[in-house]
């Protein structure tokens, strides 16, 4: 069913942050930072994949994502909803169901046998495709998915995520330069504000997280292992 209630953006951001905290998808640890795939440290980690196991929260967030996209992009703006492998697939299916649209998914790379396809499902030239994912950091992974969609002859000018880091400069500009508009529900700043309001973490941890969010590259540079030189 297509949602018809449109809460203010600020309320969507606050409630999304609250839900992520409630299911413990948010992890803050300044004393023993998490190590990212790049080898760089971070005092924050988010696990949006947990959301699929919480039906009430999952349903509310998919309503929020659907109305955000319709409000920002249009009520008849899409013909197909594509999920990015793998975390975006369940969320794309849930959004497609709400919007009464076909659903497809995009592989990170060709499967390597058979049709050697990157697109699974029916996607046709001229279709207007919304790319759905769980989150984005700096937008880089979205571009590969968008290019795979465009190679079919379809158009992809929008991507929607539950969580957007919102701390790395140039992310939305990078996507815009590729012809893509980003839609999201909340950022690390929204989560930090709600964590403070709830007293979910001690003051020292929250202060260190704020220091990271304010200047993430500098924070990582000061704490990275000696043999790591790449950025996340």
Report whether 107 belongs to an annotated binding site.
yes
Report whether 140 belongs to an annotated binding site.
yes
Q: Rounded to an integer, what is the distance from CA 93 to the centroid of its chain?
A: 15
Report whether 136 belongs to an annotated binding site.
yes
Rounded to 10°, the helix 9-22/55-73 angle is 150
Could you give the C-alpha distances from 231 to 40, 181, 202, in angstroms and in order? 7, 24, 28
Report whether 111 belongs to an annotated binding site.
yes
Residue 223: CB atoms within 10 A of its CB come to 14
Report whether 152 belongs to an annotated binding site.
no
Report whether 141 belongs to an annotated binding site.
yes
Report whether 86 belongs to an annotated binding site.
no
Say how far apart CA 12 and CA 231 lie, in whole Å: 31
Torsion of the alpha carbons at 46, 89, 6 and 182, rounded to the nearest 10: 70
Report whether 134 belongs to an annotated binding site.
yes
Binding residues: 107-108, 111, 133-141
Binding residues for 5-phospho-alpha-D-ribose 1-diphosphate: 107-108, 111, 133-141
Binding residues for orotate: 137
């Amino acid at each position: 069913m297509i949602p018809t209630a449109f809460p203010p953006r600020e309320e969507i951001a606050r409630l999304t942050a609250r839900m992520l905290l409630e299911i413990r998808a948010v992890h803050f640890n300044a004393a023993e930072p998490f190590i990212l795939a790049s080898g760089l440290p971070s005092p924050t980690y988010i696990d949006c994949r947990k959301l699929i196991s919480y039906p009430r929260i999952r349903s509310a967030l998919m309503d929020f994502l659907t109305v955000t996209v319709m409000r920002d992009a249009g009520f008849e703006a899409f013909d197909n909803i594509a999920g990015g492998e793998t975390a975006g697939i369940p969320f794309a299916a849930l959004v497609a169901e709400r919007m009464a649209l076909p659903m497809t998914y995009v592989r990170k790379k060709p499967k390597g046998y058979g049709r050697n396809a990157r697109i699974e499902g029916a996607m046709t030239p001229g279709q207007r495709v919304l790319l759905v994912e769980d989150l984005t950091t700096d937008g880089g992974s979205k571009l590969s998915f968008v290019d795979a969609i465009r190679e079919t002859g379809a158009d992809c000018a929008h991507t929607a995520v539950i969580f957007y880091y919102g701390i790395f400069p140039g992310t939305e500009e990078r996507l815009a330069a590729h012809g893509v508009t980003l839609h999201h529900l909340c950022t690390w700043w929204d989560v930090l504000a709600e964590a403070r309001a709830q007293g979910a973490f001690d003051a020292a941890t929250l202060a260190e997280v704020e220091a990271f969010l304010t200047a993430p590259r500098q924070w990582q540079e000061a704490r990275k292992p000696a043999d790591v030189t790449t950025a996340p």
